[in-house]
Structure 1
Amino acid sequence: MKQYKRVLSIAGSDPSGGAGIQADIKTISACGCYAMTAITAVVDENTVHVNGIHPIPTAFVKGQIQSVLDDIGADAIKIGMLHSAEHIYGVKEALAPYLITNIVLDPVMVATAGTDLLQQEAIYALKKELIPYSRVITPNIPEAEILLNQTINSIADLFPAAKALSYNQQTSVLLKGGHLSSDQLVDVFYNAETDETLELPTPRIDSVNTHGTGCTLSSAIASFLAHGLTLTESVIRAKEYINQAIANGTPYQIGQGHGPVHHFYKYWE
């Protein structure tokens, strides 16, 4: 019998379909993998506002993870929104027995609309428990500034910041530079496994449809890791995917705020 490449997303739910679990399922499917989910929170949001967050009890989050991994297993795991320190400790505890190494952590802290999604006391737990446990993390600049407690003002600042976020080369870091104001969008990838740093420049795409870009990118990396690509190959392929998804989603209007990217640009006319 054939076997799908399996990716489990542990994240919050977005009813507008552009971010969170919904974006992860679309991305994982578009990248040729079988998507599974463990929902950490139900978020009341649309393209304009986050109106409320209902966290799922930690024991129930752990139960979802264990049910999926006991039965189906996973070739890679993407971790997104974890609302509390209790969630962080619980997810780490649930994953530990399964010895899955392809873990991609998107340290979701602030929604595109500007709303805080991670409680302050959870930041310490994230740094202590999940970042060292992950193979690669994908922070944007505001998230990196919170984790490092320092400001990032230029492309030159991205290089030492990415290496500092690796916490003594335990974890690789894709530091996304989209919040800098420059004609080119420059991300910096520090591969802790090879001690190499790559600059990944792309033309900046002028689009309002950027809801869920971080969720999409991290899920794409997990998908390519599930396919057996190297870490560097997975990051480069995921960058290509998100760039095309943004570009192809630019002409559309969904909602009145930040719309979604076009996850299925390869398949829809």
Structure 2
Amino acid sequence: MNPPVALTVAGSDSGGGAGIQADLKTFAAQGVFGTSVITAVTAQNSADVLGVERLDPSFVDLQLEAVLSDLPVAAVKTGMLGSAATVTALSEWAAAGRLPNLVVDPVMVTSTGRRLLDDDAADAYLRLLFPHAAVITPNTREASLLTGMPVDDLSDMERVATELARTGAAVVVVKGGHLGGGRAPDVVLAEGRIAVLDADRVVTGNDHGTGCTLSAAIAARLAAGDETSSAIGAAKRYVTEALRGAAGWHLGTGHGPLDHFGWAAPVGG
């Protein structure tokens, strides 16, 4: 029996902690066959992003055609897209029904503060890509940039989730990991109802690629046939345990990676 197939459309992280590297490890840990379309190549490590080289949207298109014409992709996640042109190109595939179970992680800024998205690309996300998404997963900083609203607490998270739902995204997940305190709540808005997925905050410096891992895990579970709410819950638990698993690691001088295989949750488990 063939495994489910998922696709990540994102940038490459030479340090291996985030981007397509984190996505493909997450897919494998979930028992899903992973494929990839690279939008940019970054020179980065745990401490900094030294450079970014974006691929032309036409070559992103060519990679998409290569994968989607040959493999039965059941879910797609997007990460770093970088430019309005690439966001627009992806939206055309989505509008044509070629990107099933689309999970959009609107990567905008690195954990070190480097901007990864052109200013005009935020509008392209809102108008063109979010309306086709099964799930969108902005963190609090991204949600604030996308809506122009401050996000400082749980009530703010609920407010921006409601605003982002107006784009037409089926489910909005606003990640609260950047808020202070001892908890790590995520706000989920689906079918007009808000739920809070709460967890103990894992105190660790090894948190690079957390957002990539969450969106990839959601896509993996959707590819396997999980209902959206179940996929999001399973992904949240997976990320929490991947953070715990790496708590004793000392890889790099900055924000270290997660332990993607320390607590694998295979499809059906």
Answer yes or no: is 1:158 the counterpart of 2:157: yes
1:228 aligns with 2:225: yes
| 1:205 pairs with 2:202 | yes
SS of the aligned residue for 1:64 comes to helix
* TM superposition shift of 1:181: 1.2
Alignment of 1:49-198 (within 5 A): 49-167=48-166, 169-191=168-190, 194-198=191-195
Q: Secondary structure at the match of 1:38?
A: strand
Work out whether residues 211 and 259 of structure 1, in 8 Å CA contact, stay in contact via their aligned partners in 2.
Answer: yes
Task: Work out whether residues 6 and 74 of structure 1, in 8 Å CA contact, stay in contact via their aligned partners in 2.
Answer: yes
Match among 258, 262, 266 for residue 265 of structure 1: 262
CA RMSD of aligned residues (A): 1.2
Q: State the AA in 1 paired with 2:204.
A: S
Amino acid at match of 2:232: V
TM-score, normalising length: structure 1 = 0.95
Farther off after superposition, 255-264 or 174-183: 174-183
1:223-257 per-residue CA deviation (whole Å, 9 max, x = no partner) reads: 00111111100000000000000011110011000
Deviations 1:88-122 (A, max 9, x none): 11122234434443000000001112110001111
Cross-structure match for 1:243: 240
Deviations 1:197-222 (A, max 9, x none): 11111111110001000000000000
Corresponding residue pairs, total: 264
- The alignment partner of 2:65 has SS state of helix
Post-superposition Cα deviations, 1:156-205, rounded to whole Å, max 9, x if no partner, equal: 221121121111654311101111112111111111xx322111111111
Partner of 1:185, secondary structure, is coil
Between 1:251-260 and 1:84-93, the stretch displaced more is 84-93
Q: Report the CA distance between 1:13 and its aligned residue.
A: 0.2
User: Could you tell me which amino acid in structure 1 is paired with residue 234 of structure 2?
Assistant: R
> Does structure 2 retain, via aligned residues, the 8 Å contact 1:141–1:177?
yes
1:5 maps to amino acid: P
Match of 1:263, SS state, is coil
Secondary structure at 2:216's aligned position in 1?
helix
Q: In the TM superposition, what is the alpha-carbon distance from 1:35 to its structure 2 partner? A: 0.2
SS in structure 2 at match of 1:143 = helix
In structure 2, C-alpha distance between the alignment counterparts of 1:123 and 1:157, rounded to whole Å: 20
Task: Tell me the TM-score normalized by structure 2.
Answer: 0.95
Separation of aligned partners in 2, 1:56 and 1:219: 21
What one-letter code is carried by the residue in structure 1 that aligns with 2:122? I
The answer to whether the Cα contact below 8 Å between 2:47 and 2:254 also exists between their aligned partners in 1 is: yes
Distance of aligned partners of 1:32 and 1:164 in 2 relative to their CA distance in 1, 3 Å threshold? same
2:214 corresponds to 1:256: no
Q: Which runs of 5+ in 1 are unaligned?
A: none
1:189–1:198 contact (8 Å) kept in structure 2: yes
Q: CA contact under 8 A between 1:66 and 1:94: conserved in structure 2?
A: no
Residue 27 (structure 2) aligns with: 28
Q: Specify the code of the residue in structure 2 equivalent to 1:262.
A: D
Helix, strand or coil at the partner of 1:218: helix
Q: Give SS of 2:96's match.
A: helix
